[in-house]
Amino acid sequence: MTTDSQIHGLLNDHLSGLEEYTPIQPFEVLSQRLGIPISQIVKLDANENPYGPLPAVAEALAEYPYYHIYPDPQQSELRDALSGFVGVPAEHILPGQGADELLDYICRLFLSPGDSIINTPPTFGMYSFDAKLQGAEVIDVWRRTDYSVDVEGIEQAVNGGWQTGQGSSSVKPKLLFLTSPNNPSGTWMPDDDLRRLLALPLMVVLDEAYVEFANQPSRAGWVLERDNLIVLRTFSKAAGIAGLRLGYGIFPAWLMPMLWKFKQPYNVNVAASVAGLASLRHTDQIMAVVEKLKAERDRLLAALAAIPYLRPFPSEANFVLCQVEGRSAADLKQALEGQGILVRFYKKTGLDNCIRISVGRPEQTDMLLAVLHNL
Ligand SMILES: *Cc1c(COP(=O)(O)O)cnc(C)c1O
């Protein structure tokens, strides 16, 4: 008879040290936990779009007659529409179940146990999460105190630092993950920095989940001129359909045949595709919502700066990171939650005593500010 430990020993070795991902709680769970109806919860903790999908999306979803048919594995219609929106040929575009699925694909395409990536914390957690799933090492090149990327530090880590023990790995890094605007700091990465890093001998993955909110253009077009750049974008933030899971990557031509062989045939479900297409028929309306959120971000930023115990960082995204001064950020988060207002709280290196506030509707900003002033 086999013992439990024999069976447990069948698990992949490199998964034993895996850390749990702490997800954000959805409305239904929050409502139960806080004892507040969903309609009264001010959810500013996950950078979701408070305006939700366009009316045209709800209509398209209600009217679509073919949910009993499998999705198009080639995603032709969606890729053509995306091509028009992004301004790159459809041959370079691959949609996924959120940008998250594409991050997972990229890590599985490039990484095995013993390989390594370069991460630039504080940043989005999924890069190190997906790399560790593959058993790869994560070399952290920390951002500077203003949250700009330490370009020299990355150059050192790539050009030999990995051999002399400066990084955490003895293996030359294969992937570099960059985020612009960065989550959670809202920082934009300048063209010159990106150009310098693209000269390094590794794949650069530029996550542009928030690029629509920036006062700067996307770098998606750069992919056409380089073999080592991937740009990721999403419908979760600007287009307001995070719950439907739709993102896309712009990939260099040489990688596309590999991705077509590699991807799950039906990775993008029909509802996500219908919603994406309806959104892309009304990009003017999406950009109008984005403008509203950008104006609200600027108002929020100015109002937070006027609160004595908060030091907000400038942001090119739909959220604002704040350093809490002279009191506990954990207590602040708790106090806000007691009033039905949810923000993201961090207690980790580089984000000590910080909260991140997503941009909401004006009346939600007003509620937040009233509570912050009264504390
Ligand atoms: C929200 C977010 C994503 C996730 O996008 P999905 O398309 O919802 O998977 C990717 N990158 C960053 C930096 C994000 O904040």
Nearest CA to ligand 1 atom 11: 209
Range 56-282 has CATH code 3.40.640.10: yes
| Residue ranges of the chain assigned to CATH 3.40.640.10 | 56-282
> pLDDT tens, 211-259?
999 999 999 999 999 999 999 999 999 999 999 999 999 999 999 999 9
- The pLDDT-based confidence of 165 (bands split at 50, 70, 90) is very low
Q: Specify whether the CB–CB gap between 278 and 131 falls below 8 A.
A: no
> pLDDT tens, 342-366?
999 998 889 999 999 999 999 999 9
Mutate to test the pocket of ligand 1, among 101, 177, 178, 207 (most ligand atoms within 8 A of CB): 207
Ligand 1 centroid–CA 100 distance in Å is 6
- The pLDDT-based confidence of 21 (bands split at 50, 70, 90) is confident
| Residue ranges of the chain assigned to CATH 3.90.1150.10 | 4-52+284-374
Ligand 1 centroid–CA 272 distance in Å is 15
Range 4-52+284-374 has CATH code 3.40.720.10: no
Q: Verify whether ligand 1 is closer than 6 Å to residue 100 (CB atom).
A: yes
Q: Closest ligand 1 atom to the C-alpha of 242?
A: 8
Cα distance between residue 268 and residue 72, in whole Å: 9
Phi and psi at 133, nearest 5°, equal -55, -30
Name, in order, each residue with C-beta under 8 angstroms of 202's C-beta and a sequence gap of 6 or more: 118, 158, 173, 174, 175, 176, 228
Cα distance between residue 48 and residue 150, in whole Å: 29
Region 197-203: mean pLDDT is: 97
Q: Which amino acid is at 308?
A: P
Structure tokens at 354: 């910080």
Q: Verify whether ligand 1 is closer than 6 Å to residue 129 (CB atom).
A: no
CA 307 to chain centre: 28
pTM (2 d.p.): 0.95
Region 283-311: mean pLDDT is: 98
Q: Verify whether ligand 1 is closer than 6 Å to residue 49 (CB atom).
A: no
Cα distance between residue 154 and residue 202, in whole Å: 11
Q: Verify whether ligand 1 is closer than 6 Å to residue 124 (CB atom).
A: yes
Ligand 1 centroid–CA 248 distance in Å is 11
Residue 161: the pLDDT is 63
3 state SS for 195-258: HHHHCCCCEEEEECCCHHHCCCCCCHHHHHHCCCEEEEEECCCCCCCHHHCCEEEECCHHHHHH
Ligand 1 centroid–CA 209 distance in Å is 5
